[in-house]
A and B are shown apart, each in its own frame.
Chain A
Amino acid sequence: MTQKTATLTISRFEPGKDTVPGTQSYSVPYLEDWVILDALNYIKDQVDGTLSYRWSCRMGVCGSCGMMVNGEPKLTCSAFIRDYYPQEIRIEPLENFPVIRDLVIDMSDFMDKLTSVQPWIIREKEKPVSEGEYLQTPEQLDSYQQFSQCINCLLCYAACPIFGLETDFIGPAAIALGYRYNLDSRDEGNDKRNDVIKDVNGVWECTFVGECSIVCPKHVDPAAAIQRLKVESAKELMQTLLMPWGRK
C-alpha cells in the first residue's frame, strides 16, 4: 500500500544571504497521530538538516514551538496534521516579530518587556523563614490563577494587530502576567508594576481586538486583564482629579 503523504510549505530565511524569506515545500508521511512538530522533526532528521525552528517539551507546556499554521498562530505540538489534510499546510514564523532564521523569531524585545513588568512576587519586607509560608485562601488563588497559566508562547503577540503596528506596545502576555502578580494576595508590588502596565505603551495602547484571548492555547484571557486594568487606571485618574488630597 502506498504511504499517504502531506505537503508542508515552509518559510525559509537565511540571514546574511536572503533579503526576504522564501518558501520550500516538503512531502512528509501522513500519520493520524502526527502533529505538525512531528513533521518538522521528520524533515529536520530525514530530509533537510538546515531547517531551523524552536521546540522543546512537545506537550504544550514550554511554549517554544509557536508558529503560523495556515496564517493562524498555533503551538505546532498541538496542531494535528489530520486537521489540515489533504490541504497543503503553510508554516511561517510567528507574525509581528523579526525573523532570525527560517521559523525562529527574535524574542529579545518581548523578554525586555516581560522583565519591565516585574512578573514576580515583590515584598516590601520579606518575613523570616521561621514565620512560615505566605498562605492563601482558595478564593485568593482563584482571583489570579487563570492568568498564571501563561507559557509565554507569544501566540497572542502574533495575533495582535496593534502590536504589529505599534511595536512599543508591551503586549498581551506581559500585561496579563503583570496583572497576575497584581492580583496575588502575597504581592506588594502593584505600584512598581503599574508605572509600566498603565502607561501609554501599556494597557492604553490596546484597542481591544480580542484576538489574543481567542488564540491562547492555555485559555488565558489577556484581553480581560487589559480591559480591567484600564478600568482600574481610569478610576485612579478620577480619584486623583476629584480627591487630590487622597493621592499617594
Chain B
Amino acid sequence: MIANRPDKSKLYYPQMPTAWWFKKWNYFFFLLRELTSVFIAAFLVVYLIQIYNMGLGAEHYAAFVERFKSPGWIVFHVVALIFAVYHSITWFKTASVILTPHVGSWAVPPWMVTALHIAAWMVVSVIILLLFVFV
C-alpha cells in the first residue's frame, strides 16, 4: 500500500484520443492486424457455405460457384487473401517472440524461427495447390 496518495480530485486525467491508432505506424499496423481477422472470419463463413452447397449436388454447386465470378466477390476474395497473408506473417512474427528454441546451448535466433515457420507455410500451401491442380 502507498502511504501518501495524492488527492484524486486534484489530478488531471488525460483521455485517449478517439483516433489514437493514427498516432504511430505501429498502432496503425496493430489495428490493421486486428481488422484482418474480420475478413478472415467472413471468408471462413463463405467457405463453410461453399462446402454445404457442395453437398447439395454437382449442378447446385456449379450454380453457386458461378456467383463468385461477379466483381464484388472477386474483390472480396482478393482483399481476404491479402489480409490473410498479412495476418499470417504477423502470426509467424509472433511465434518468434513466444518460442525460444535451443539446439544444444545455441539459442535459435528469432528471425530464424519466423523464417522456418514461413517456409513451412509455403511448403504446405504449394502441396495444397498441387493437390487442387492435379487431383
- A112 surroundings in chain B (CB, below 8 A): 1-2
In the bound complex, CA of A228 to CA of B94 (Å): 10
Tell me which of B1, B30, B34 has the highest count of chain A C-beta atoms within 10 A of its own C-beta.
Answer: B30
Nearest A-chain residue to B7, judged by Cβ: A15
In the bound complex, CA of A96 to CA of B2 (Å): 20
Answer whether residue B20 sits at the interface, using C-beta atoms and an 8 A cutoff: yes
- B94 surroundings in chain A (CB, below 8 A): 208, 227
Answer whether residue B64 sits at the interface, using C-beta atoms and an 8 A cutoff: no
- B55 surroundings in chain A (CB, below 8 A): none
In the bound complex, CA of A106 to CA of B6 (Å): 7
- B24 surroundings in chain A (CB, below 8 A): 211
A99 near B2 (CB under 8 angstroms)? Answer: no
> On chain A, which size bracket covers the interface?
20 to 34
Answer whether residue B131 sits at the interface, using C-beta atoms and an 8 A cutoff: no
B98 near A231 (CB under 8 angstroms)? Answer: yes
- B20 surroundings in chain A (CB, below 8 A): 161, 164
What is the interface size of chain B, counting residues whose CB is below 8 A from a CB of the partner? 23
Nearest A-chain residue to B107, judged by Cβ: A142
Segment of B8-16, B43-51, B78-86, B120-128 engaged in the interface with chain A: B8-16
Residue in contact with A108 in the complex, picked from B2, B10, B16, CB distance below 8 Å: B2
Produce 1/0 per residue, B25-41, CB < 8 A to A.
Answer: 01100100010000000
- The B-contacting residues of A in range 190-217, CB under 8 angstroms, are 207-211, 214
Chain A nearest CB: distance from B100 CB in Å? 8
Produce 1/0 per residue, A149-177, CB < 8 A to B.
Answer: 00000000000010011000000000000
In the bound complex, CA of A223 to CA of B26 (Å): 14
A108 near B5 (CB under 8 angstroms)? Answer: yes
A221 near B14 (CB under 8 angstroms)? Answer: no
Answer whether residue A16 sits at the interface, using C-beta atoms and an 8 A cutoff: yes
In the bound complex, CA of A209 to CA of B90 (Å): 11
Answer whether residue B42 sits at the interface, using C-beta atoms and an 8 A cutoff: no
In the bound complex, CA of A112 to CA of B5 (Å): 11
B30 near A210 (CB under 8 angstroms)? Answer: yes
A96 near B14 (CB under 8 angstroms)? Answer: yes
Answer whether residue A21 sits at the interface, using C-beta atoms and an 8 A cutoff: yes
- A47 surroundings in chain B (CB, below 8 A): none
Tell me which of A95, A211, A224 has the highest count of chain B C-beta atoms within 10 A of its own C-beta.
Answer: A224
- B34 surroundings in chain A (CB, below 8 A): 207
Answer whether residue A31 sits at the interface, using C-beta atoms and an 8 A cutoff: no
Given A98-B11, A98-B12, A210-B30, A221 and B2 contact (CB-CB distance below 8 Å): no
Residue in contact with B23 in the complex, picked from A19, A71, A115, A221, CB distance below 8 Å: A71
In the bound complex, CA of A108 to CA of B1 (Å): 9
- A71 surroundings in chain B (CB, below 8 A): 23
Chain A nearest CB: distance from B9 CB in Å? 9
Answer whether residue B21 sits at the interface, using C-beta atoms and an 8 A cutoff: yes
A111 near B12 (CB under 8 angstroms)? Answer: no
A sample of 13 more A-B contacts (CB under 8 A), given A98-B13, A211-B24, is A16-B10, A18-B12, A21-B12, A96-B16, A108-B2, A108-B6, A111-B2, A112-B2, A161-B16, A161-B20, A208-B30, A211-B26, A227-B98
A contact set with B: CB distance below 8 Å: 13, 15-16, 18-21, 71, 95-100, 106, 108, 111-112, 115, 161, 164-165, 207-211, 214, 221, 223-224, 227-228, 231
